[in-house]
Protein backbone atom coordinates (compact mmCIF):
# COMPACT_ATOMS: atom_id res chain seq x y z
CA UNK A 1 0.00 0.00 0.00
CA UNK A 2 1.27 3.47 -0.89
CA UNK A 3 2.23 5.84 1.89
CA UNK A 4 -0.05 8.87 1.91
CA UNK A 5 1.51 12.29 2.40
CA UNK A 6 -0.29 15.59 2.99
CA UNK A 7 1.67 18.62 1.83
CA UNK A 8 1.06 22.32 2.24
CA UNK A 9 2.91 25.60 1.93
CA UNK A 10 2.44 29.32 1.94
CA UNK A 11 3.70 31.55 -0.88
CA UNK A 12 7.31 31.39 0.40
CA UNK A 13 7.22 27.60 0.25
CA UNK A 14 5.20 27.19 -2.95
CA UNK A 15 8.13 26.44 -5.29
CA UNK A 16 9.61 23.83 -2.92
CA UNK A 17 6.16 22.28 -2.46
CA UNK A 18 5.71 21.86 -6.18
CA UNK A 19 9.20 20.40 -6.63
CA UNK A 20 8.85 18.06 -3.64
CA UNK A 21 5.44 16.93 -4.82
CA UNK A 22 6.86 15.99 -8.23
CA UNK A 23 9.82 14.19 -6.61
CA UNK A 24 7.59 12.22 -4.22
CA UNK A 25 5.08 11.26 -6.91
CA UNK A 26 7.99 9.82 -8.91
CA UNK A 27 8.84 7.74 -5.81
CA UNK A 28 5.26 6.42 -5.88
CA UNK A 29 3.85 8.20 -2.81
CA UNK A 30 0.23 9.28 -2.74
CA UNK A 31 0.08 13.07 -2.28
CA UNK A 32 -2.75 15.20 -0.91
CA UNK A 33 -1.87 18.77 -1.86
CA UNK A 34 -3.49 21.21 0.59
CA UNK A 35 -2.23 24.33 -1.20
CA UNK A 36 -1.26 27.06 -1.79
CA UNK A 37 -1.43 26.91 -5.54
CA UNK A 38 0.55 30.02 -6.53
CA UNK A 39 3.19 32.44 -5.27
CA UNK A 40 0.52 35.02 -4.39
CA UNK A 41 0.72 36.16 -0.76
CA UNK A 42 -1.39 33.98 1.56
CA UNK A 43 -1.74 33.18 5.27
CA UNK A 44 0.18 30.07 6.38
CA UNK A 45 -2.51 28.80 8.82
CA UNK A 46 -4.83 28.30 5.85
CA UNK A 47 -2.53 25.47 4.70
CA UNK A 48 -1.08 24.20 7.97
CA UNK A 49 -4.51 23.42 9.44
CA UNK A 50 -5.61 21.21 6.49
CA UNK A 51 -2.34 19.23 6.61
CA UNK A 52 -2.68 18.67 10.37
CA UNK A 53 -6.35 17.72 9.94
CA UNK A 54 -5.42 15.19 7.24
CA UNK A 55 -3.16 13.40 9.73
CA UNK A 56 -5.64 13.69 12.60
CA UNK A 57 -8.42 12.25 10.40
CA UNK A 58 -6.10 9.45 9.18
CA UNK A 59 -6.32 10.67 5.57
CA UNK A 60 -2.51 10.87 5.48
CA UNK A 61 0.34 9.03 7.19
CA UNK A 62 2.81 11.90 7.28
CA UNK A 63 2.77 15.63 6.60
CA UNK A 64 5.08 18.15 5.00
CA UNK A 65 4.73 21.89 5.62
CA UNK A 66 6.87 24.58 4.05
CA UNK A 67 7.10 28.29 4.68
CA UNK A 68 9.88 30.87 4.81
CA UNK A 69 11.12 30.12 8.34
CA UNK A 70 8.95 27.05 9.08
CA UNK A 71 7.99 28.66 12.40
CA UNK A 72 4.48 29.73 11.42
CA UNK A 73 3.42 26.39 10.00
CA UNK A 74 4.97 24.48 12.91
CA UNK A 75 3.27 26.63 15.53
CA UNK A 76 -0.07 26.28 13.74
CA UNK A 77 0.13 22.51 13.17
CA UNK A 78 1.22 21.88 16.76
CA UNK A 79 -2.05 23.36 18.01
CA UNK A 80 -3.76 20.15 16.81
CA UNK A 81 -4.14 17.19 19.16
CA UNK A 82 -1.74 14.37 18.26
CA UNK A 83 0.33 16.44 15.88
CA UNK A 84 4.06 16.76 16.41
CA UNK A 85 5.39 19.15 13.77
CA UNK A 86 9.17 19.55 13.76
CA UNK A 87 11.19 22.32 12.16
CA UNK A 88 14.13 20.66 10.40
CA UNK A 89 17.26 22.22 8.92
CA UNK A 90 19.61 19.21 8.60
CA UNK A 91 19.22 15.53 7.78
CA UNK A 92 20.21 14.62 11.32
CA UNK A 93 17.54 16.88 12.82
CA UNK A 94 14.92 15.36 10.50
CA UNK A 95 16.00 11.85 11.47
CA UNK A 96 16.02 12.61 15.21
CA UNK A 97 12.62 14.31 15.01
CA UNK A 98 11.22 10.96 13.90
CA UNK A 99 13.42 8.66 16.05
CA UNK A 100 13.14 10.53 19.34
CA UNK A 101 10.02 12.70 19.05
CA UNK A 102 7.77 10.63 16.78
CA UNK A 103 7.21 13.80 14.74
CA UNK A 104 4.54 13.32 12.10
CA UNK A 105 4.97 16.56 10.15
CA UNK A 106 8.27 17.89 8.85
CA UNK A 107 8.39 21.70 8.63
CA UNK A 108 10.90 23.04 6.13
CA UNK A 109 12.25 26.62 6.17
CA UNK A 110 12.47 27.33 2.44
CA UNK A 111 14.38 30.59 2.89
CA UNK A 112 17.15 28.88 4.87
CA UNK A 113 17.77 25.50 3.19
CA UNK A 114 18.46 24.51 -0.40
CA UNK A 115 15.93 22.47 -2.29
CA UNK A 116 18.38 19.55 -2.40
CA UNK A 117 18.58 19.62 1.40
CA UNK A 118 14.79 19.89 1.68
CA UNK A 119 14.46 16.80 -0.51
CA UNK A 120 17.07 14.90 1.47
CA UNK A 121 15.53 15.84 4.83
CA UNK A 122 12.13 14.69 3.58
CA UNK A 123 13.64 11.33 2.61
CA UNK A 124 15.24 10.95 6.06
CA UNK A 125 12.00 11.97 7.77
CA UNK A 126 9.84 9.55 5.80
CA UNK A 127 12.11 6.52 6.04
CA UNK A 128 12.95 6.84 9.76
CA UNK A 129 10.87 4.99 12.33
CA UNK A 130 10.12 6.04 15.89
CA UNK A 131 12.59 4.34 18.25
CA UNK A 132 10.10 4.05 21.12
CA UNK A 133 11.80 2.86 24.32
CA UNK A 134 12.65 5.75 26.64
CA UNK A 135 11.39 8.20 23.99
CA UNK A 136 7.87 6.79 24.08
CA UNK A 137 7.41 7.83 27.71
CA UNK A 138 8.47 11.37 26.84
CA UNK A 139 6.23 11.64 23.80
CA UNK A 140 3.27 10.43 25.86
CA UNK A 141 3.77 13.47 28.14
CA UNK A 142 3.38 16.02 25.32
CA UNK A 143 -0.40 16.22 24.91
CA UNK A 144 -2.38 18.19 27.50
pLDDT, position 133: 81
pLDDT, position 16: 98
Integer Cα distance of 106 and 5 in angstroms? 11
pLDDT, position 55: 98
> How many other C-beta atoms are found inside a 10 Å radius of the C-beta of residue 75?
15
pLDDT, position 137: 81
Handedness of CA 84, 8, 18, 2 (dihedral sign): positive
Residue in 11, 67, 88, 107 annotated catalytic: 67
pLDDT, position 139: 86
Kindly give the pairing relationship between strand 62-67 and strand 85-87: unpaired
pLDDT, position 88: 98
Q: What are the residue ranges in the chain where pLDDT is below 70?
A: none
pLDDT, position 132: 80
Q: Is 67 labeled as catalytic in the residue annotation?
A: yes
Sequence-ordered list of residues with C-beta below 8 angstroms from that of 79, at least 6 positions apart, any chain:
52
Integer Cα distance of 17 and 101 in angstroms? 24
pLDDT, position 131: 87
Query: Domain 4-140, CATH 3.90.380.10 — does that match?
Result: no
pLDDT, position 95: 98
In 2-79, where does DSSP find H-type helix?
14-26, 45-56, 71-77
Residue in 49, 80, 100, 135 annotated catalytic: 100
Amino acid sequence: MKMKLAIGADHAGYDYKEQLKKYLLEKDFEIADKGTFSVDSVDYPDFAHPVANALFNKEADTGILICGSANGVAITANRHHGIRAAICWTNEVAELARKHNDANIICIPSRFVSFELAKSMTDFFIKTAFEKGRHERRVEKIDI
